Structure 1
Amino acid sequence: MITNPLDRRARLSIELALTAGSPDPRQDAAARALGMSGAEIDAARQGWSFDLRTSLALGLALAAENMRQDRRARALKAGISEAACREIEALVRQAGTGGPRHV
């Protein structure tokens, strides 16, 4: 089970997905600095990951409001902690209110 909040790669993957319509070169630079490949960056912008848990986190982040509880249950079942789910949901709220573009 992932007991700690999200790691930097997962947070950045969520940010890439949430801002896919207006990519920022600084995000690419940050992703590369974390060791993400071009394919991983492209996948995150499309809302998925090569890593199962990151894919579930992205699914929760991108879920429509009426699907969020189902996606949250899947994430919890796969071992993503309650704290990480709350962090994902906070990132979504922050993105929706024009919060920082690089987490």
Structure 2
Amino acid sequence: MSNFAISERVRLSIELALTAGALDPLRRQQQNDTAKSLGMTGAEVDVARRGSSFDAMTSIAVALALASRQGAGHLAIARERALRAGISEEICLQIQAFTIPPFDSSG
């Protein structure tokens, strides 16, 4: 089992993916400032906004969050991948909870 936890960097990566393309300029700048304070590079922010990460476990977490709003089939596949990678059931549920507003601006 992995010791994967939702760090501030992981949380922000999920937020960036869930809100990409639907942000007002002020919130986008706030996210950029937060990312900088966490030591994230511009490239890391860009990749997160595209729904991925340079870190494999963070990428799996982001994919699970995005799949949570794409329907049961996508969610089941992403959840199985996360569990196989060592992300606990509890953490999977926490990641899925990110799709509840204010992060999920799709609906």
With normalisation by structure 2, the TM-score equals 0.83
Runs of 4+ in 1 over 6 A off after TM superposition: none
Q: In the alignment, is the contact (CA less than 8 A) between 1:61 and 1:92 conserved in 2?
A: yes
Q: 1:4 to 1:58 in 2, by over 3 A?
A: closer
With normalisation by structure 1, the TM-score equals 0.86
- Take 1:18 and 1:47, find their aligned partners in 2: how far apart are those partners? 8
- Take 1:68 and 1:7, find their aligned partners in 2: how far apart are those partners? 22
Which of 40, 47, 72 is residue 51 of structure 2 equivalent to? 47
Q: 1:22 to 1:61 in 2, by over 3 A?
A: same
CA RMSD of aligned residues (A): 1.8
Instruction: Report the structure number with the largest CA radius of gyration.
Output: 2
Matched, 1:67 2:78: no
Partner of 2:15: 15
Structure 1: which 5+ residue stretches go unaligned?
Answer: 99-103
Q: Give the stretch that moved more between structures: 33-42 or 58-67.
A: 58-67
- Take 1:93 and 1:70, find their aligned partners in 2: how far apart are those partners? 20
Partner of 2:39: 35
Q: 1:60 to 1:51 in 2, by over 3 A?
A: same
Structure 2: which 5+ residue stretches go unaligned?
Answer: none
Q: In the alignment, is the contact (CA less than 8 A) between 1:5 and 1:87 conserved in 2?
A: no
Output one character per residue of 1:21-57: Cα deviation in whole Å (capped at 9) or x when no partner.
1341100100110000000000000000000000101
The aligned length equals: 98
